[in-house]
């Protein structure tokens, strides 16, 4: 292949990261153009004993990530941004993100915040207040595991929220910008 042929071919490099951290601020974002989409922040742990964190702004992409995050927000609708009832919930996640790109913004108090913009491709596990809500079936199911595998193509039941909570009824989240109406789907 000649050098000119190589230069004319489009290539794409995808920077991916795996990690774990806290889920914060799930919210609907309404861009100036296009459909509303779900976004959330992950404070990913790193460094000695995970004492440092990096902010990741991400959107669920792909069937598995969309399904798991949708089930989490169905079981715990109070997690959506602005809900005061979510203060008692701690949600942690084991994840893989891709299309990572460093970004920054300047806050109202003139502080610069650096973050990584990405897409959430895979959820390995989610814990709510230290209890597993979801675990990706890796073929090594433990005898004490009570949560059913939820991989694509398998019949499964949605994990029940902790016993102290009544099963919530999900109301469609309203996208930012005051738009009313139809249920929104996560971008693919």
pLDDT in tens, 139-161: 333 333 333 333 333 333 333 33
Q: Which pLDDT score, from 0 to 100, does residue 147 have? A: 35
pLDDT value at residue 83:
66
pLDDT at 42: 96
C-alpha span between 57 and 100 (Å, rounded): 10
Residue 71: half-sphere exposure toward Cβ, Cα within 13 Å:
21
Which residues are CB-neighbours of 104 under 8 A, at least 6 positions away? 112, 113, 114, 115
Average pLDDT over residues 10-32: 90
Note the pTM of the prediction, 2 decimals: 0.65
The pLDDT value recorded for residue 6 is: 56
What confidence score (pLDDT) does residue 160 get?
Answer: 39
Report pLDDT for 13: 83
pLDDT at position 12: 81
Q: Give the number of other Cβ atoms within 10 Å of residue 143's Cβ.
A: 4
CB contact at 8 A, 37 and 184: yes
The yes-or-no verdict on residue 182 having pLDDT over 50 is: no
State how far the Cα of 2 lies from the Cα of 113, in Å rounded to an integer. 45
């Amino acid at each position: 292949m000649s050098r000119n042929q190589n230069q004319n071919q489009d290539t794409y490099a995808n920077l991916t990261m795996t990690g774990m951290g806290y889920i914060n601020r799930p919210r609907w974002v309404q861009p100036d153009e296009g459909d509303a989409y779900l976004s959330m922040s992950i404070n990913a742990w790193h460094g000695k004993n995970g004492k440092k964190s990096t902010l990741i702004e991400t959107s669920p992409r792909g069937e598995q990530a969309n399904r798991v995050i949708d089930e989490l927000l169905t079981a715990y609708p109070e997690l959506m941004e602005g809900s005061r009832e979510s203060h008692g919930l701690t949600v942690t996640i084991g994840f893989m993100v891709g299309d990572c790109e460093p970004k920054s913004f300047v806050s109202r108090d003139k502080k610069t915040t650096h973050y990584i913009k990405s897409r959430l491709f895979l959820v390995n596990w989610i814990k709510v207040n230290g209890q597993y809500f979801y675990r990706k079936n890796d073929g090594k199911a433990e005898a004490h595991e009570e949560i059913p595998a939820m991989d694509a193509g398998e019949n499964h039941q949605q994990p029940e929220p902790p016993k102290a909570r009544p099963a919530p009824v999900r109301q469609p989240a309203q996208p930012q910008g005051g738009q009313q109406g139809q249920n929104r789907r996560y971008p693919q």
